[in-house]
């Protein structure tokens, strides 16, 4: 499988899983990883630093129009939606929150799925709301691969459960350890 | 027609391109200046609002009815969702930029382009007032949508917007005063009293005409560049340069990037995290 983009959506209870994933990916991991995580809108600094502690790859908050490059982890900045453009670049937006969220996990997944089609992997981790479910369904529709964290393995199962229901044929339902194995096999 | 979020309308890139071409020919307005993904989203929103579900019918209406085209410009405008977004920026403006402008100028001229639903310009007005410079300052707010210009001073903002803005305002003011001291409660939300707009002039302005207005001391254009293509961003920056006085300031959104633009060297960065630049050339 020739994956060119991985998008991980997470909310409450996902931080530990994410740091575990980031600490397991090698420095030369060939696929760019985009993190769409719910976060406090007025706290602009500190999150990248917190994720960087364990990550072997560098973590960035992309600016508008930045090119998506392999070997990097991208974190959706506070209080913006993060879109992925057909040209393989990021675009930011301050349009209204979707399901009370900005960044909206749905919007990053949907636009990434549209731009990267069958070369996109979407992963939904722990969370106490249903953001990401629609985006997962869209990734599936565009031919990409969908992965949900095993609900019993998630601190807050609502988000992966919603994704599994909405995307119907989620390709893989995996524990956090299995998600890491899956990513390393790409 | 009932469009739930799950059953979204899909529009093709070729449909969008076709719309752009026809609008350019008929109305002379280049919609190709907009960044594609967010423009497509706003198109879909406008389609839903007009209870249409295909882009061809929509395009026909836009090119054949001038009034509909004007409404369309209104529909694709991006609404700013809060007052005092990024309180640290407004504090910097109040404590650093405005006092400097006060020292060096008889009058302070501020331009808020793409004022949309007014949040940024109203926030600017409050900040100027709290810096004690209301009488000395002229604010020009412009937008491409003629409808927004008309409704601006009568606009009612939602209650939910008040809550977000109140929190922001408290972070800005830092003195436990309330945002409500400026607002007037009305049915379904709040608005601002008439005398609030004394030093604000609202006008229609299309970037594509690239007309020079006058030399501004400060241009507040935060989170506007993101809605345009890279090529158009370059053009916008030139336009702002032309309309800034020597030592004038430009403020953009904290995640926007203009450092790659050809004319960027004509600015010096004065605040890295709030993205404020000073024209030096």
pLDDT confidence band for B211 (50 / 70 / 90): confident
Q: pTM here?
A: 0.94
- Per residue in B95-136, pLDDT tens? 999 999 999 999 999 999 988 889 999 999 999 999 999 999
Q: Domain limits of chain A?
A: 5-184
- pLDDT over 50 at B4, yes or no: no
- pLDDT over 50 at B3, yes or no: no
All structural domains of chain B, each given as residue ranges with its CATH number in brackets, are 13-75 (no CATH), 87-279 (3.40.50.150)
Which residues of chain B are at the A interface, by a Cβ-Cβ cutoff of 8 Å? 5-6, 13, 35-38, 41-42, 78-81, 85-87, 167-168, 171, 223, 225-227, 230, 233, 253-257, 273
Contact flag A77-B227 (C-beta cutoff 8 Å): no
Q: What is the pLDDT of residue B103?
A: 95
Strand partners, A120: A5
Specify whether A131 is catalytic. Answer: yes
CB < 8 Å & 24+ apart, contacts of A68-73? A68/A5, A68/A32, A68/A34, A69/A32, A70/A29, A70/A30, A70/A31, A70/A32, A71/A27, A71/A28, A71/A29, A71/A30, A71/A32, A72/A32, A72/A33, A73/A22, A73/A32, A73/A33, A73/A35
Beta strands B267-271 and B276-279, pairing class = antiparallel
Specify whether A45 is catalytic. Answer: no
Contact flag B5-A79 (C-beta cutoff 8 Å): no
- pLDDT over 90 at B195, yes or no: no
- pLDDT over 70 at B6, yes or no: no
Phi, psi for B266 (deg, rounded to 5):
-80, 0
d(CA A124, CA B247) in angstroms, rounded, equals 49
Share of chain B above pLDDT 70, in %: 96
Contact flag B223-A94 (C-beta cutoff 8 Å): yes
Contact flag B226-A77 (C-beta cutoff 8 Å): no
- Per residue in A138-184, pLDDT tens? 999 999 999 999 999 999 999 999 999 987 779 999 999 999 999 99
d(CA B120, CA B151) in angstroms, rounded, equals 16
Mean pLDDT for chain B overall: 91
Specify whether A38 is catalytic. Answer: yes
d(CA A140, CA B134) in angstroms, rounded, equals 55
Contact flag B256-A92 (C-beta cutoff 8 Å): yes
- Per residue in A44-95, pLDDT tens? 889 999 999 999 999 999 999 999 999 999 999 999 999 999 999 999 999 9
Q: Which CATH number fits domain A5-184: 3.40.50.180, 3.10.20.600, 3.30.1360.70, 3.40.630.10?
A: 3.40.50.180
Closest CB to A64 among B81, B86, B225: B225
Chain B residues near residue A62 by CB distance under 8 angstroms: 255
Mutate to test the interface with B, among A39, A62, A64, A136 (most CBs of B within 10 A): A64
d(CA B108, CA B130) in angstroms, rounded, equals 15
Query: How many Å from the N-terminal Cα to the C-terminal Cα in chain B?
Result: 55
**Burial call B78-108: b when 16+ CB within 10 Å, e when fewer:** bebbbbbbbbebbbbbbeebbeebbeeeeeb
- pLDDT over 90 at B175, yes or no: no
Q: Are B82 and B90 in contact (CB under 8 A)?
A: no
Strands (E) across A85-170 are located at 90-93, 120-124, 145-149
What is the mean predicted confidence (pLDDT) over B209-233? 92
* A161 has a chain B CB within 8 A of its CB: no
Q: Which of residues 92-111 of A touch B (CB under 8 A)?
A: 92-97, 102, 111
- Per residue in B66-96, pLDDT tens? 999 999 998 898 887 899 999 999 999 999 9
Phi, psi for A136 (deg, rounded to 5):
-65, -40
């Amino acid at each position: 499988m020739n994956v060119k983009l991985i998008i991980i959506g997470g909310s409450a209870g996902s931080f530990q899983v994410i740091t575990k994933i980031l600490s397991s990916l090698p420095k030369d991991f060939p696929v760019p990883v985009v993190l769409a995580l719910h976060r406090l809108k007025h706290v602009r600094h500190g999150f990248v630093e917190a994720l960087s502690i364990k990550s072997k790859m560098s973590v960035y908050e992309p600016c508008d129009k930045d090119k998506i490059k392999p070997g990097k982890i991208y974190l959706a900045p506070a209080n913006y939606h993060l879109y992925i453009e057909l040209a393989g670049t990021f675009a930011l937006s301050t349009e209204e929150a979707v399901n009370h969220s900005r960044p909206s996990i749905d919007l990053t997944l949907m636009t990434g799925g549209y731009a990267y089609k069958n070369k996109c992997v979407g992963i939904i981790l722990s969370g106490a709301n249903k953001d990401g479910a629609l985006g997962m369904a869209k990734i599936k529709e565009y031919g990409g691969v969908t992965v949900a964290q095993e609900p019993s393995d998630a601190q807050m199962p609502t988000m992966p459960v919603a994704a599994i229901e909405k995307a119907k044929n989620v390709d893989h339902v995996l524990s956090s350890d299995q998600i890491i194995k899956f990513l390393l096999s790409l | 027609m009932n469009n739930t979020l799950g059953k979204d309308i899909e529009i093709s890139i070729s449909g969008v391109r076709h719309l752009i071409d026809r609008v350019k020919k008929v109305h002379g307005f280049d919609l190709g200046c907009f960044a594609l993904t967010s423009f497509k989203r706003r198109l879909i929103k406008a389609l839903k609002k007009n209870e249409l579900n295909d882009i061809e019918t929509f395009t026909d209406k836009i090119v054949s009815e001038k009034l509909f085209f004007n409404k369309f410009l209104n529909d694709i405008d991006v609404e700013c969702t809060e007052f005092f977004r990024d309180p640290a920026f407004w504090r910097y403006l109040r404590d650093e930029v405005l006092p400097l402008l006060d020292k060096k100028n008889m009058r302070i001229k501020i331009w808020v382009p793409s004022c949309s639903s007014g949040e940024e310009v109203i926030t600017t007005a409050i900040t100027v007032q709290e810096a004690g410079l209301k009488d000395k300052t002229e604010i020009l707010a412009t937008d491409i949508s003629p409808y927004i210009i008309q409704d601006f001073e009568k606009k009612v903002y939602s209650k939910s917007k008040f809550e977000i803005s109140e929190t922001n305002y408290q972070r800005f003011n830092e003195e436990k005063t309330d945002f409500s001291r400026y607002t007037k409660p009305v049915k379904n939300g709040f608005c601002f009293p008439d005398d609030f707009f004394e030093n604000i002039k609202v006008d229609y302005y299309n970037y594509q005409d690239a007309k020079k207005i006058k030399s501004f001391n400060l241009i507040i254009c935060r989170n506007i560049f993101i809605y345009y293509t890279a090529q158009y961003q370059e053009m916008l920056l030139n336009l702002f340069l032309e309309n800034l006085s020597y030592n004038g300031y430009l403020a953009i959104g904290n995640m926007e990037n203009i450092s790659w633009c050809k004319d960027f060297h004509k600015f010096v960065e004065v605040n890295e995290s709030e993205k404020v630049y000073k024209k030096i050339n």
